[in-house]
Amino acid sequence: MIVTPKWLYDRLGEVIVLDARFDLFDEKKGKQAYHAEHLPGALFIDMAEEMADKRIQGAGRHPLPSPEDMAQMFAKKGISKDSKVVIYDDQNGGIAAARAWWMLEFLGNNNAAILDGGIQAWKNSGYPTTDEVKPPDEARFDPHVKEDWLVTAEQVKNKLGSAVVVDSRSRERYQGEQEPLDPKAGHIPGALNFPWGGVLGQDGNWKTTEELVQHFAALPRDREVIVYCGSGISACPNVLALKRAGFKQVTLYAGSWSDWSSRSGYPVETGHPSQ
């Protein structure tokens, strides 16, 4: 699920590389950075336009596209269900890259990985970048959707008390001390706060499997773990990390807090973490 710059450099031309750079507050910034420089052969994947479908109402700030639309989007980039894909962005841990990873896994492609440290680690290793863009040859993507990887707001509400709910946002947003983006401040009742950055070491790279097992040691392994964040993006590193740590029942609430906090009658909790 995580590969080093050297691993990728040794396999350029054998894998499809996706550049998922994205800025939540400037949605054009990632594409501009891609056109300035990117890894050789990399194709841009747009978080705002391709990994979200804002035509969908009432599903949060970055609604997940339909499986059919996702498969068609990946096919246009030359990706099939069996393609080997490496994704990077410019944030250590790669929240946008992890969203693309999650989408591929959800559709049945089990050959996707994230570049550890993103484009900065690549450049720090002395490997080349380019501004050349080569159009891909379209592929055929026949999705085999993993329905048990995704939950809706209604399902989360019905599972409160039985499933473990993990909030991936910052401690301040979780506690309701601040909320810069969504209608209400706070968290889903009973949720435990595991900010997504906790899956990274002090060097900004991914923790080892053993370290992730320790990081999530407080969570039971015999219950479903539902992961959410603000709008279904930064939850994805936690989903990946939980999978690496050996958790079997891990689901994404894609609408996340932006969906939950906009729904009438859905309970909200504030205050200090309960873990």
Domain count of the chain? Answer: 2
Is 136 part of any domain? no
Same domain, 184 and 236: yes
- Give dist(CA 42, CA 20) in Å, integer: 10
Predicted local confidence at residue 275, as pLDDT: 45
Same domain, 153 and 232: yes
- 236 has catalytic annotation: no
CATH code for the domain of 94? 3.40.250.10
Residue 128 is encoded by which pair of tokens?
């080349």
Same domain, 119 and 152: no
- Give dist(CA 268, CA 184) in Å, integer: 8
**Which tens digits make up the pLDDT trace of 79-115?**
999 999 999 999 766 899 999 999 999 999 999 999 9
Give the domain extent around 120. Answer: 2-124
Same domain, 109 and 159: no
Cα Rg of the chain, angstroms: 18
Is 19 part of any domain? yes
* Residues forming a β-bridge with 86: 17, 113
Tokens 């939980």 map to which residue?
A: 242
Q: What residues have CB less than 8 Å from 216, skipping those under 6 apart?
A: 194, 241, 242, 245, 247
Q: pLDDT tens digits for the chain (275 residues)? A: 999 999 999 999 999 999 999 987 888 999 999 999 999 999 999 999 999 998 887 777 889 999 999 999 999 999 999 999 999 999 766 899 999 999 999 999 999 999 999 999 999 999 999 999 999 999 999 999 999 999 999 999 999 999 999 999 999 999 999 888 888 999 999 999 999 999 999 888 999 999 999 999 999 999 999 999 999 999 999 999 999 999 999 999 999 999 999 999 999 999 875 54
Is 164 part of any domain? yes
Is 131 part of any domain? no
Same domain, 92 and 153: no
- Percent of the chain past pLDDT 90, that is, above it, reads 87
Q: Quick check: 73 and 66 in contact, CB under 8 A?
A: no
Is 174 part of any domain? yes
Q: Which is the catalytic residue, given 229, 242, 250, 254? A: 229
* Residues forming a β-bridge with 114: 2, 87
Same domain, 152 and 117: no
Same domain, 118 and 160: no
Predicted local confidence at residue 92, as pLDDT: 62
